Amino acid sequence: MSLFFESLFNGAAIGSVLLIAALGLAVVFGLMGVINLAHGELIMLGAYTTYVVQSLFKLPLLAPLFGAYIFVAVVAAFLVSGLVGLLLERSVIRRLYGRPLETLLATWGVSLILQQFVRTVPLAWSTGLWLAAMVGLAGPPVMNRLWGPRQRPWRLRLGCWVVAVAVGVACAGWIRGAMPKLASASARNVDVTAPRWLRGGLDLGDWTLPIPRLVIIGLTILAVLAVYWFLNRSLWGLRIRAVTQNRAMSDCLGIPTQAVDALTFAVGSGLAGVAGVAVSLLGSVGPNVGGDYIVGCFMVVVLGGVGNLWGAVVASAGIGVLTDVIGAGRLLEIWPRMPAWLQQGVEFFATTSMARVLVFALIVLVLQVRPAGLFPQRGRMAEV
């Protein structure tokens, strides 16, 4: 019984990392049909955001709250990656709808640019740049909402951008002074230290549950529920689904399809940022971290069935449990008296490298039987 639970827990642990990394892609690729190869880099931006937030909480003023920085990081990472995603959609992706090959190449290029960006631009300046973009873009709509529309909108916009640049430069300068580690650019991986309560394990009798894994499982469940709620219970979710099902008709009925596209992409990118926080709890944070996850993300979305949220959940759970059962050699424990020839075979596959090979082979087999994934759904992909 304990074996069953341990395997289930490990499977859930591996699967939840896959799922939270793939969730944003499930939205972007699943609902919009955009093959976003820069998804891994949006995860990376989330991980770097965690690092910046962590450095901020190491300052004397905020040090007492260090244990809680991770919650701030989740929100900040969502906003950072979301905004970058929004800019990416407005500048590149929207010109390429319905052209999957060009999208693929363009987003790959974007992923290289983002990698090189974090290598060459100091984090202090990146943070300042992001703040400036945020103030400059969000300023006019917010002020319009607060005080009603202006007579001369261009003045307001200009004013906002002037303030934005000032805020960005001031902030970057302050960060350079206060956090010298963020002042210079480095291709070296950075050290994200989890707060003390997030580092240990939870002792339950015989075995220990790693707390970071529990937190990631919790975060993943929350993220899935939030996405489900957003898509199925909110006004914008309704619009997104409408556009997914029939763009032309939605347009006729007055749904602002361009705004829907931008929002969908921004939400998907923001989710990648949240995944970045999770990833930073487990492994290293560096310019190449996105590359470690991108293949797994596409694997989950394709196996689950493009456009189906629950498909992604089932697929990641399945891959997680299989990886653990094969890679940790649990078949030998489940069935201790298996024939010798079978036992040799199982032992051969009971290494991490071979488990990966076998899991990929099984996915190929499943896709042979169900080419559109486990839970196929008609969506905007049909238009393309």
Shortest CB 332 distance to another protein, Å: 10
Among 145, 152, 188, 233, which residue interacts with another protein (rule: CB under 8 A)? Answer: 188
Shortest CB 261 distance to another protein, Å: 33
The answer to whether residue 114 forms part of the interface with another protein (CB under 8 A) is no
Could you tell me the two tokens for 266?
A: 């921004």
173 or 329: whose CB is closer to another protein?
A: 329
User: Which three-class secondary structure string do you get for 41-83?
Assistant: HHHHHHHHHHHHHHHHHCCCCCHHHHHHHHHHHHHHHHHHHHH
Shortest CB 46 distance to another protein, Å: 16
The answer to whether residue 193 forms part of the interface with another protein (CB under 8 A) is yes
Among 266, 281, 299, 301, which residue interacts with another protein (rule: CB under 8 A)? Answer: 281
Unique residue bearing structure tokens 């024939």:
339
Query: Segment near another protein (CB under 8 A), from 41-49, 62-70, 227-235, 347-355?
Result: 347-355
The answer to whether residue 344 forms part of the interface with another protein (CB under 8 A) is no
Nearest-angstrom CA–CA distance, 370 and 375: 9
Q: Output the CA–CA distances (angstroms, integers) from residue 48 to 77, 123, 184, 329, in the order listed.
A: 8, 8, 14, 35
As a residue count, the chain comes to: 384
Could you tell me the two tokens for 292?
A: 């470690």
Query: Segment near another protein (CB under 8 A), from 82-90, 122-130, 158-166, 192-200?
Result: 192-200
Among 163, 230, 242, 292, which residue interacts with another protein (rule: CB under 8 A)? Answer: 292
Q: Output the CA–CA distances (angstroms, integers) from residue 55 to 173, 178, 347, in the order listed.
A: 15, 10, 45
Residue type, 202: L
Helix (H) or strand (E) run with residue 207 in it: strand 207-210
Nearest-angstrom CA–CA distance, 328 and 18: 18
231 or 300: whose CB is closer to another protein?
A: 300
The answer to whether residue 190 forms part of the interface with another protein (CB under 8 A) is yes
Nearest-angstrom CA–CA distance, 264 and 240: 7
User: Which three-class secondary structure string do you get for 327-380?
Assistant: HCCCHHHHCCCCCHHHHHHHHHHCCHHHHHHHHHHHHHHHHHHCCCCCCCCCCH
The answer to whether residue 288 forms part of the interface with another protein (CB under 8 A) is yes
Footprint of another protein on 151-180 (CB under 8 A): 180
Among 356, 362, 367, 376, which residue interacts with another protein (rule: CB under 8 A)? Answer: 356
Among 24, 307, 318, 327, which residue interacts with another protein (rule: CB under 8 A)? Answer: 327
Query: Segment near another protein (CB under 8 A), from 148-156, 220-228, 229-237, 284-292?
Result: 284-292
Among 352, 361, 383, 384, which residue interacts with another protein (rule: CB under 8 A)? Answer: 352
Among 120, 144, 208, 232, which residue interacts with another protein (rule: CB under 8 A)? Answer: 208
DSSP state of 150: -
* String of DSSP letters for 257-271: HHHHHHHHHHHHHHH
Shortest CB 248 distance to another protein, Å: 43
Query: In a 3-state reduction of DSSP, which class is residue 151?
Result: coil
Query: Segment near another protein (CB under 8 A), from 147-155, 246-254, 280-288, 372-380?
Result: 280-288
Among 64, 151, 203, 365, which residue interacts with another protein (rule: CB under 8 A)? Answer: 203
Query: Segment near another protein (CB under 8 A), from 69-77, 251-259, 306-314, 323-331?
Result: 323-331
Could you tell me the two tokens for 134?
A: 């945020």
DSSP state of 193: P
Count interface residues toward another protein (CB under 8 A): 43
9 or 310: whose CB is closer to another protein?
A: 9
Nearest-angstrom CA–CA distance, 363 and 319: 9
The answer to whether residue 199 forms part of the interface with another protein (CB under 8 A) is yes
The answer to whether residue 334 forms part of the interface with another protein (CB under 8 A) is no
Q: Which residues bind another protein (CB under 8 A)?
A: 6, 10, 13-14, 17, 180, 187-194, 199-201, 203, 207-208, 210-213, 281-284, 286, 288-289, 291-292, 323-324, 327-329, 351-353, 355-356
